Structure 1
Amino acid sequence: MRTEINKRFRQRINMPEDEPVDFDSLPRLLEKTAAAFPFENLTLLRGSLQPVTRDHLTNKILNNKEGGLCYELNPLLYFFLVQNGFNATLVRGETYNNESQQWNKLGRTHAAILLMHEDDFYLVDTGFGANLPLEPVPLNGETISSRNGDFRVTAFDSEYGDYILEMKLKHKDKDWKIGYGFDSRRPLTKVSEEMNEIQNIIKEHKDSPFNKTPLITQLTDNGNITLTDTSLTRRIYGTSQKQNVTREDFLELAQEYFGLQV
């Protein structure tokens, strides 16, 4: 299974098998990954969780064409990047609630990727819902801009690490907001073990935002789309279109917009 991740990942995101993947082509790769993999918690709610291993992620996301949460999407991308010669590691962090101006207090339950290129470190993330940078973000405070907005990583000491990801989403944010803090000093060496720990916390914690109601969200060419058990929201160039949905609607819309069999 390990040797097939490269081939199957490329098939899932519609990237030719012989197309080189290097640092300069990462934005294209991240765009295609965001377009292919929905951010969703349906498996978590079904209670059919399995250990987060390389083989499980390959079967779930690449073979069965499902999506996942950060602890599934980013490790899969990490495995793909390593197979394509990148110097990459996984790190853990904690998300920030900008409304309450507080950390979410679930512990370090966000997984992201750090990679080194020409002696500089960059943050890469394809598992942060509709808040994806879509480009590597350097750890030197420099702002990068993509079709999804502006992003930067700045040094910031907290109980959750030494850096924060900040963002100004296009057509949404006027001011910088904190996405999450992460610890660059603690690269993961036991990937499956730590992803399983994250999965268990998100499944069991009373304050987890993902263990109560279904959520599917994905970037589109002109915004993003989000489906819950009560509504479908399409955000197009900053304008939101929202409709109520029933259980029957949910099943049909999950298939229509995200290709998911619920």
Structure 2
Amino acid sequence: MSELNVLFRKRIGMPESETITFDTLDRLLDLTALAIPFENLCIVEEGTYVISRRSVMEKILVRNEGGLCYELNLMLYFFLLENGFDAKLIRGVVYRHDVGAYYTIGRTHATILLTYEGQTYLLDTGFGSNLPLKPVPLTGETVSSRNGEFRIKKEQTEYGDYVLEMKLRHKDKDWRIGYTFDSQKLVTDETELNEIQTIIAEHEQSPFNKSPLLTQLTERGNVTLTNSSFTQWVDGVMTKETIDDERYKELAKQHFGLS
């Protein structure tokens, strides 16, 4: 078993002896979401680095940090390959609900397509707190998890041929768009992920280069931390606290294991 395989299992609490099958991917995705935060600290602290298998492994599995989509899904992608799955990396464009349109800064969302028994599924552990926690088939069928309902619609957009839609538990009454992606345009080189990182770090319209953001699913909801507020969802009830720098550092360590 490779170092990556051992360290990933250790980080998420999955025994080395456990065989990963298609039927246990739900558990794998759930454990990953509970263990590894979505966070942009290396972007806001100007600590970007060359994205590679080794560097992402060091960041997430050795230093026990979190990351953004191009780090979290890259790590999961390598883990899936190590465990015998037919996985591919693709890029997508996230929908901006504040303006009712897709982001125009490029295909900055990295995610995974997995093929199993002739069927293709979307897997994503890098979409903040909007995680399906299950493989989502490209057939349009709705999947339900403790985080809500998710489905993929075949729809030609400017940026792809499919759209992920979601209805988050306790938050959404109606279906809303998550992102669009191109199922035919595979990421074949890690330089594409470095390109995503550059856009996210430098573009004025990037949502992740202004201030710190950390979010993670919990057993009963999720937590989100910025440098000015801490929001918790527990069993459908939201509480929000205004915080200062000292409290921010305390909460980053307490809830996200980051110092």
TM-score by length of 2: 0.99
The residue aligned with 1:205 is 203
Q: Deviations over 1:111-164 (max 9, x none)?
A: 000000000000000000000000000000000000000000110111110000
The structural deviation recorded for 1:98 is 2.1
The structural deviation recorded for 1:237 is 2.1
1:79-94 superposed matches below 5 A: 79-94=78-93
The residue aligned with 1:219 is 217
The structural deviation recorded for 1:99 is 3.1
The residue aligned with 2:138 is 139
Q: Deviations over 1:187-236 (max 9, x none)?
A: 1111x111100000000110101000000000111111000000000011
The residue aligned with 2:232 is 234
SS of residue paired to 2:3? helix
Q: Give the Cα separation in 1 of the matches to 2:196 and 2:256.
A: 25
1:40 aligns with 2:76: no
The structural deviation recorded for 1:238 is 2.1
The residue aligned with 2:23 is 24
Q: Give the Cα separation in 2 of the matches to 1:211 and 1:236.
A: 28
The structural deviation recorded for 1:3 is 2.6
Q: Give the Cα separation in 1 of the matches to 2:217 and 2:3.
A: 27
SS of residue paired to 1:182? strand
Q: Give the Cα separation in 1 of the matches to 2:211 and 2:186.
A: 32
Q: Please list every run of at least 4 consecutive aligned residues from structure 1 whose deviation after the TM superposition is greater than 4 angstroms.
A: none
Q: Give the Cα separation in 2 of the matches to 1:243 and 1:188.
A: 40
1:59 aligns with 2:58: yes
Letter of the 2:202 partner, please give it: E
The residue aligned with 1:193 is 191
Letter of the 2:8 partner, please give it: F
SS of residue paired to 1:127? coil
Q: Give the Cα separation in 1 of the matches to 2:36 and 2:66.
A: 5
How many residue pairs end up in the alignment?
259
SS of residue paired to 1:199? helix
Letter of the 1:147 partner, please give it: R
The structural deviation recorded for 1:100 is 1.9
The residue aligned with 1:122 is 121
Letter of the 1:138 partner, please give it: P
Letter of the 1:258 partner, please give it: F
TM-score by length of 1: 0.97
Q: Give the Cα separation in 2 of the matches to 1:247 and 1:99.
A: 28
1:75 aligns with 2:74: yes
User: Any stretches of 5+ residues in structure 1 without a counterpart?
Assistant: none
The structural deviation recorded for 1:49 is 1.1
Q: Deviations over 1:80-108 (max 9, x none)?
A: 00000000000001000123211111210
Q: Give the Cα separation in 2 of the matches to 1:132 and 1:183.
A: 19
Q: Give the Cα separation in 1 of the matches to 2:31 and 2:2.
A: 21
The residue aligned with 2:149 is 150
Letter of the 2:104 partner, please give it: K
Identify the range of structure 1 (231-240 vs 170-179) with the bigger mean alpha-carbon deviation: 231-240
Aligned-residue CA RMSD (Å): 0.9
